[in-house]
């Protein structure tokens, strides 16, 4: 087992990893930018290293600075969290070249899954059902129109290098397709430095269902069921739950096995998430994330398993501490993402938190790096906390969420808490009857946003 791990991240996820290290008797090293000297992850880690200025390009995304920090502190492994360098194949490779363990999959697996076209081709070859669409990239409008004629409108144009809900355009007809195709390519070029796009059937009423998988890198893999992340704004998740309210045990077992078998076949190591759209009882692969997800705690809650601890174990060469038969779902868990944003436009709202009080009590987990008096810097993601509740069933989890939201105090800045308070009054949310378009429609009706 490692003696010292460096966490190449900040905020709540850095704390999450430090906590796992502490419980495992592993020393932790925090890295931080000059804007984060006062951040909680710096205070909580055993050691810390300043790796650069506020701009993440020169700090949290600087491979050289992070590798130097490992060498200075003697860290044997790096946990990348999510975002930043977590899905950067070159980073995983560079660590390996320096004899440092990347707590995650191999550079090759990251590379395959990081390019969405290659990922989709790989998934299909491994027996995973995919969304109907173009075979690979679409080089010109003539090809695009040919694909659309075959699969039917509406279609969605997606950047192969896309991520974070960006680089997608929907077209309802040929006219829209011409404009969407052109703008999708130029936007992809600007945002990701790669203008390759592909086309998929645009599903009208899908739910976003993702399967958590875990591989030991030696040909064994398990699945930990699904998370339903259908409540989205601009293709980004805001509310996640496990198990999915409409997934049957038979559907879970079937798609779970397909996913676990697929990752076992490629000797995948560590945590991964295979994302699907789910419509009319069918699953359609959209992408795979080769890292820990923001919403992993809902899976931890219902299975009673610490996923970060497990990531560290398999990265050090140990076997998984559980098998498929040990995994039994216990109750229902919900996570809401609390962002420093002002409604109704969700404009970023960093600033000084005068007073912070986390909710507590039975079945409540608050993952956040906030503290009273902390100044949220304006340079990074607006996620400031995740509130996770666990109950014996969905109604109990919903009641607990409402109670916990009432206890939470983040005084001094605007947050997305009022959004969740309002959503918990909605019959569709209470009954679990929503798809990936529900929240956008609700926001438009509520705020005209
Ligand atoms: P990203 O990597 O940017 O998160 P994804 O491919 O995971 O992109 O898609 C994010 C979300 O976009 C999905 O959860 C879904 O809401 C929507 N989406 C993606 N592909 C389709 C599709 N073919 N039809 C309908 N919605 C889609």
CATH of the domain at 39: 3.40.50.20
Between the CA of 425 and the centroid of ligand 1 the distance, in Å, is 27
User: Is the same domain home to 281 and 259?
Assistant: yes
Last residue of a domain, one of 88, 123, 140: 88
Kindly report the CATH number assigned to the domain that includes residue 139. Answer: 3.30.1490.20
How far is 169 from 310, CA to CA, in rounded Å? 37
CA separation, residue 354 to residues 148, 334, 371, 411, 414 (Å): 53, 27, 9, 5, 12
Flag whether pLDDT at 244 surpasses 70.
Answer: yes
Establish if 126 belongs to a structural domain: no
Q: Same structural domain for residues 218 and 285?
A: yes
- Do 330 and 363 form a contact (C-beta atoms < 8 A)? no
Residues 443 and 404 in one domain: yes
Ligand 1 site-directed mutation target among 286, 287, 288, 293, most atoms within 8 Å of CB: 286
pLDDT at 299: 99
> Residue 163: pLDDT band by 50, 70, 90 thresholds?
confident
Q: Own/partner pairs for 372-375, CB < 8 Å, 24+ apart?
A: 374/38, 374/39, 374/40, 375/38, 375/350, 375/351
- Asked whether the beta carbons of 266 and 194 are under 8 A apart, the reply is no
* Whether residue 252 lies in the annotated active site: no
* Domain stops at, among 185, 201, 217: 201
What is the pLDDT, as a whole number, of residue 165?
77
Both 251 and 151 in a single domain?
Answer: no
CB of 181 within 8 A of CB of 208? no
Mean pLDDT, residues 70-97: 98
- What is the average pLDDT score of the chain? 97
Using CA atoms, how far apart are residues 200 and 354, in angstroms rounded to an integer? Answer: 47
Report CA torsion sign: 230, 122, 192, 135: negative
pLDDT reported for residue 214: 98
Determine the pLDDT at residue 449: 58
CA angle centred on 180, ends 174 and 182, rounded to 5°: 110
Closest protein CA for atom 23 of ligand 1: 202
Range of the domain at 47: 4-88
Nearest CA, atom 17, ligand 1: 235
160 is a domain residue: yes
Average pLDDT over residues 371-395: 98
Same domain, 189 and 224: no
Out of 58, 73, 88, pick the residue that ends a domain: 88
- Least confident range from 65-79, 158-172, 386-400, 402-416: namely 158-172
In a domain, 103, yes or no: no
Same domain, 235 and 181: no
Helices and strands counted in the chain (H then E): 15, 22
pLDDT bin (cut points 50, 70, 90) of residue 181 is very high
SS3 state of residue 188: helix
- The residue whose CB lies within 8 Å of the most ligand 1 atoms, and thus the one to mutate among 114, 151, 284, 436, is 436
185 and 223, same structural domain? no
pLDDT of residue 123: 96
Statement to judge: residues 246 and 368 lie in one domain: yes
Measure 436 CA to ligand 1 centroid, in angstroms.
Answer: 9
> CA-CA distance, 185 to 158, in Å (whole number)?
9
Residue with the smallest CA separation from ligand 1 atom 14 is 208
Whether 233 maps to a domain, the answer reads yes
pLDDT exceeds 70 at position 4: yes
Indicate if ligand 1 lies below 6 Å from the C-beta of 195: no
Q: How far apart are alpha carbons 116 and 316 in whole angstroms? A: 29
Smallest CA-to-CA distance from 374 within 39, 94, 56 is with 39
Q: Is residue 102 part of a domain?
A: no
Overall pTM surpassing 0.85 (yes/no): yes
Catalytic residue among 10, 207, 291, 313: 291
Q: CA 41 to CA 30: how far, in whole Å? A: 6
56 plus 192 within the same structural domain: no
What proportion of the chain, given as a percentage, has pLDDT over 70?
A: 100
How many residues are recorded in the chain?
Answer: 449
201/133 Cα distance (integer angstroms): 6
Average pLDDT over residues 118-130: 95
Asked whether the predicted pLDDT for residue 164 surpasses 90, the reply is no
Ligand 1 pocket: which of 86, 165, 236 to mutate (most atoms within 8 A of CB): 165
Distance of alpha carbon 317 from its chain centroid, rounded?
A: 25
Distance in Å, CA 235 to ligand 1 centroid: 6
pLDDT for 392 equals 98
Query: Which pLDDT score, from 0 to 100, does residue 89 have?
Result: 97
At 75, phi and psi to the nearest 5? -70, 135
DSSP 232: E
Q: What stretch of H or E contains 89?
A: helix 89-97
- CB-based contacts of 182, cutoff 8 Å, min separation 6: 141
Tell me, what CATH number does 342's domain have?
3.30.470.20
Split into its structural domains, the chain has a count of 3
Q: What is the pLDDT of residue 22?
A: 98
232 and 323: one domain? yes
Note whether residue 23 is domain-resident: yes
pLDDT exceeding 90 applies to what percent of the chain?
Answer: 98
313 within some domain? yes
Tell me: do 142 and 220 sit in the same domain. no
pLDDT the model gives residue 14: 98
70 with 184, same domain: the answer is: no
Q: Is residue 118 part of a domain?
A: no
pLDDT tens per residue across span 188-229: 999 999 999 999 999 999 999 999 999 999 999 999 999 999
């Amino acid at each position: 087992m490692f003696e010292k791990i460096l966490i190449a991240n900040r905020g709540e996820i850095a704390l999450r990893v430090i906590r796992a290290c502490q419980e495992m008797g592993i020393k932790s090293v925090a890295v931080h930018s000059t804007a984060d000297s006062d951040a909680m992850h710096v205070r909580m880690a055993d050691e810390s290293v300043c790796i650069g200025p506020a701009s993440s390009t020169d700090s949290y995304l600087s491979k050289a600075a992070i590798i130097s920090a490992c060498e200075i502190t003697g860290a044997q492994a790096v946990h990348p969290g999510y975002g930043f360098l977590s899905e950067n194949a070159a980073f995983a490779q560079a660590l390996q070249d320096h004899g440092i363990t990347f707590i995650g999959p191999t550079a090759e697996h990251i590379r395959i899954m990081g390019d969405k076209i290659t990922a989709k081709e790989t998934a299909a070859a491994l027996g995973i059902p995919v969304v109907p669409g173009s075979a690979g990239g679409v080089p010109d409008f003539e090809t695009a129109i040919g694909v659309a004629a075959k699969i039917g409108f509406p279609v969605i144009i997606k950047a192969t290098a896309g991520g974070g809900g960006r680089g997608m355009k929907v077209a309802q007809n040929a006219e829209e397709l011409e404009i969407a195709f052109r703008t999708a390519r130029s936007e992809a070029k600007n945002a990701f430095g790669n203008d390759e796009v592909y086309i998929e059937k645009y599903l009208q009423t899908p739910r976003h269902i993702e399967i958590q998988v875990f591989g030991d890198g030696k040909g064994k893999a398990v699945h930990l069921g699904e998370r339903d992340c259908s409540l989205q704004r601009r293709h980004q998740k805001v509310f996640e739950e496990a198990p999915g309210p409409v997934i049957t045990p038979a559907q879970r077992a079937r798609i779970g096995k397909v996913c676990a078998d697929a990752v076992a076949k490629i000797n995948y190591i560590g945590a991964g998430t295979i994302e699907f759209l789910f419509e009319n009882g069918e699953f359609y692969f959209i992408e795979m994330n080769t890292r820990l997800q923001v919403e992993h705690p809902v899976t931890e809650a219902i299975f009673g398993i610490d996923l970060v601890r497990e990531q560290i174990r398999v990265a050090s060469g140990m076997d998984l501490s559980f098998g498929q038969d040990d995994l039994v779902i216990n109750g229902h868990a919900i996570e809401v993402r609390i962002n420093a944003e002002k409604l109704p436009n969700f404009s970023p709202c960093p600033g000084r938190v005068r007073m912070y009080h986390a909710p507590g009590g039975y079945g409540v987990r608050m993952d956040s790096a906030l503290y009273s008096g902390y100044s949220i810097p304006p340079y990074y993601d607006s996620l400031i906390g995740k509130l996770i509740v666990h109950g014996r069933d969905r109604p109990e989890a919903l009641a607990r969420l409402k109670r916990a939201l009432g206890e939470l105090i983040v005084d001094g800045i605007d947050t997305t808490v009022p959004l969740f308070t309002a959503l918990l009054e909605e019959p569709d949310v209470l009954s679990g009857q929503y798809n990936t378009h529900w929240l956008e429609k609700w926001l438009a009706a509520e705020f005209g946003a």
